[in-house]
Chain A
C-alpha cells in the first residue's frame, strides 16, 4: 500500500461536495430533532392519556428500531403509497425523527429538573399556563440540557454516513464513489476519517465548556 498525494488532490473537490451535504444533513436533522423532541416531551405531559399513550408508543417504537431500517422504509416504502421526497429530504427527516425520540428524553429530564417551587411561584403570580412554560419552565429546562443535546448532535454526525444507503452523496458517499472509480481506497477514506475527527472532537470540547458554564 502506498500513499498517493495526487489522489488526495483529485478527491478534494468531491470531498467538499460531500462535506457540504453532511453538514446540511447534520444542521437540518438537529433542528428537526430539537423541535420535534420538545413537542413529544410536551405532549407526554398533557393530562389526557389519549395523547400520551400514542405518543409514547410511537416514540418508543422509533427509538428501538435501527435508523437504517427507518431510512429504507421512508425511501423505498413511502413511494409505494405515492409519497415521494428527494433522497436528501427523506434522509434529513429520518435522522431528525429518529433523534427526536432521544432529545425528548433529554427535555423531559430538564423539565423535571426544574424545582416545584418555580411552578408554585408561577401559580402564586397567577401566570397563565402557556406563559409559565415559555417564560419560566422552558428557559430553565433548556439551559440545563444544552450540553446533552449537543452530545446527540455529535452522535448524529457519526450517523450521517447511513444516508449513503439511500443514495445521498455525503462524505462517505463521495469517498466510496471516488474509490470505486479510481481503485484508490486509502486516501479518500483517510481524508473523511480525519474530517470527522476535526468536526466532532472540537464540538465535544465545546459541549464540555458549555456544560461547565450552563449547568450549575
Chain B
C-alpha cells in the first residue's frame, strides 16, 4: 500500500489527528473478583501515535485494550476517546453510564485485532471484510468490495479472497483480520498480542504488514506485544506496566536502552 492512499480518508478533516490527545484513562480501576488488574490508572495517548504496552503477564495490558473496545467495563474511573466518554455520557451536567447508542457511536472510532484472529468461519474472506462496512457504515456492496480488494492487496492476500478462513494459515488469517479491522476506518487500532498464536515462521509476514500500516497511515496504534524488536521499530512511545500501573514510559530508545526502574530492566532481560 503506498503512502498516497491513506487508510483514513477523512483524517484531514479530523481535528484529532494533529497530535492532540485521543485517548485518556482517568483513574481507571478494574477488578476481577479480588484481583485488582488496573489500579487507579491514568494515561493518555496522542492522536497518530504508535504506543506499545509491555510488562509481565497479568499486569493489565490486555485489559486496557479490552476496556477500550468496550468488551469490559471499568469498575471506577472514566475513559475518553476523541473527547467523548466511552462508557459514560453526560446528561444534564451529570455523568451517567452510557446507553447502547452512545457506546456504539464512540466505538465506531476503534478497531481491534485479536490474538486468536476471530474471523467469522461461516463467511468467506471477502465477506468477513465487507460485512461490517455494509451493515454498520451503510456502504454500498460494490464500494465495500472494492475497498476489501485494496486492503487484501495491501496485506498480500488478493488471491485468497474467495476462501474460507479455515483454508488459510494462521498468519494469513491474522492478515485478513487486520484488513477487516481497517475496513471500518477506525482512528485507533488495538493490537492484542497479534502474533502470539502464530508459528514462528508466520510472525514476520504479519509484523511486516503492521510496520507498513504504521509507516503509511496516521492511524493511532495501541499494541500489546512480546515482540520487542517490533515494538522498538514502530513505537513512538512505550509504556511499561507492572501490577496495574504504568511503571515508566518514554520513547523506545529510552525504555529499551536506559530504563529508570530495575523492574523494567529485569523484565526486558527476561524477554529479550
Contacts and interface: CB of A to CB of B under 8 A. Distances in A.
B95 interface: no
A117 B135 CA distance: 20
A136 to B, nearest CB: 6
Contacts of B181: 124-125
A123 to B, nearest CB: 6
Interface residues of B, number: 25
B111 interface: yes
Binding site secondary structure of chain B? loop
A126 B138 CA distance: 12
Interface string A123-134: 111111001000
Given A120-B71, A123-B70, A124-B69, A136 B132 contact: no
Contact of A123 (B69, B116, B131, B184): B69
Contacts of B118: 115, 117-118, 120-121
Contacts of A135: 120, 123, 131, 135
B167 to A, nearest CB: 12
A125 B121 contact: no
B240 interface: no
19 contacts: A117-B114, A117-B116, A120-B69, A120-B114, A120-B118, A123-B69, A123-B71, A124-B110, A124-B114, A125-B131, A125-B136, A125-B180, A126-B104, A126-B184, A128-B104, A131-B135, A136-B120, A140-B120, A216-B166
Interface of B: 69-71, 104, 107-108, 110-112, 114, 116, 118-123, 131-132, 135-136, 166, 180-181, 184
